[in-house]
Amino acid sequence: MLIQDGYMIDPKSGKEGNFDILIDGDKIVKIAEKIEPKGKVTRINAEGLLVAPGLVDVHVHFRDPGFTAKEDINTGAAAAAKGGVTTVVLMANTKPTVDSEETLKYILDKGAKTGIHVTTCANVTMGMQGKQLTDMKKLAAAGAVGFTDDGVPLLDAELVRRAMEISAELDMPISFHEEDPKYIENNGVNRGKASEYYGIGGSSREAEIALVERDLKLAEETGACIDIQHISSKEAVELVRQAKKRCSNIHAEATPHHFTLTEDAVIKYGTLAKMNPPLREEEDRQAVIRGLVDGTIDMIATDHAPHTAEEKAKPITEAPSGITGLETSLALGITELVDAGYLTMKQLLRLMSTNPAAMYHLDAGYLAEGGPADVILIDTAAEFIPEQYVSKATNTPFTGWKLKGEVKKTICGGKMVYEA
């Protein structure tokens, strides 16, 4: 396969310009200004398009096993491919949870047949009960790429310390959902204007601040590589900023919805904008963007969280939290961050591919000779309106928005897995 006449950006090396890329099997074999291959080759005209590494989304829910009415591994992978994502790291809050080698094997085996790279975390605790650690070493040996009880905060500090010590020994990341329930009454809605609008208690920013503070301290003491997931408050961003000056193993991720929306969206869109942690105030949104600009937040991840239309049609206090994100994440990054002047395209791609791949020790997120043939072609000027989704779910407030930056082709492992 020969990709010709595109404008290439490799966020890892910083190399960019007009290059041809020759792919043989699942590897890139040559990158040069002009390539004239011998023999039979499939030519792809990339003139006018940006050629970038496949995106790496390290916070995704495919709901499989256990909740496949919402999504399954096949439909989730198709949504990823459409969004330019060639590698996903799945969260472990399935049913059964990923606390056994059997469930882990089921996910990896099914994921291997999808056309994209499906990896998964295993749980930190058995059944996500927060009481007993899983056999982290055994799960790592069986193919888990990291550990998390995402969806449920870990409240036992001593247990968290032990988990961090084991993950540090394994040199694997451990990711944290930072919401202390003692500061929450009716989660998914910010305590403030939005909770007052609905006449409910809502989620205080203290819920995030308290656990972020604790886990940053523990990470510094144990040397564990940690990821503060879906950061939402200005205070948490600042805590991470200061901790990163002292410790290189601390990472944080932001979602497209947290850098795009505020709690006003919950008033406008109702349950479609209900998520954990909730959308907060404009000051928080701006703090998240500043964190992305200065490297405090070093990854963008979707927290793709599909739910059925019936579930989201319930009242605000009963509907589940979460929105889908795989099919709109890159366009939101281009529209809200690049076009708005906060980031360059190279910086955005680094946040969405190179950095997350590096934290999880994945061979992904870059374009180089000998590297993986995971490549996306993007029309950065194309405007489109999200209306039809390949995900089973449509629970997103971004339906009907005018977004910029459309994925035209997704190549994974040297094979075309999506074409617009």
What's the pLDDT at 157? Answer: 98
Give CATH for domain 54-360: 3.20.20.140
Reported pTM: 0.98
Rounded Cα distance between 384 and 407, Å, is 10
Known binding residues for Zn(2+)? 59, 61, 150, 177, 230, 303
Active site residues: 303
- In what helix (H) or strand (E) does residue 250 lie, and over which residues does it extend? strand 250-254
Tokens linked to 122: 């295993």
Q: Is the pLDDT of residue 382 over 90?
A: yes
Burial (0-12, 13-18, 19+ Cβ within 10 Å), 68: middle
The pLDDT-based confidence of 412 (bands split at 50, 70, 90) is: very high
256 Cβ contact partners less than 8 Å away, ≥ 6 residues apart: 300, 302, 325, 328, 329, 332, 333, 336
> 216 and 250 in contact (C-beta within 8 Å)?
yes
Q: Quick one: CATH architecture of 2-50+371-419?
A: Roll (2.30)
Annotated domain spans of the chain: 2-50+371-419, 54-360
pLDDT digits (tens, 9 = 90+) for 36-89: 988 899 999 999 999 999 999 999 999 999 999 999 999 999 999 999 999 999
Q: Which of 85, 37, 43, 34 is nearest to 60 (CA)?
A: 85
Residue 352 per-residue DSSP state: I
Known binding residues? 59, 61-63, 93, 150, 177, 230, 276, 303, 307
Known binding residues for substrate? 61-63, 93, 276, 307
pLDDT digits (tens, 9 = 90+) for 98-149: 999 999 999 999 999 999 999 999 999 999 999 999 999 999 999 999 999 9
Rounded Cα distance between 248 and 298, Å, is 12
pLDDT digits (tens, 9 = 90+) for 344-378: 999 999 999 999 999 999 999 999 999 999 999 99
Angle at 61 between CA 194 and CA 129, to 5 degrees: 85
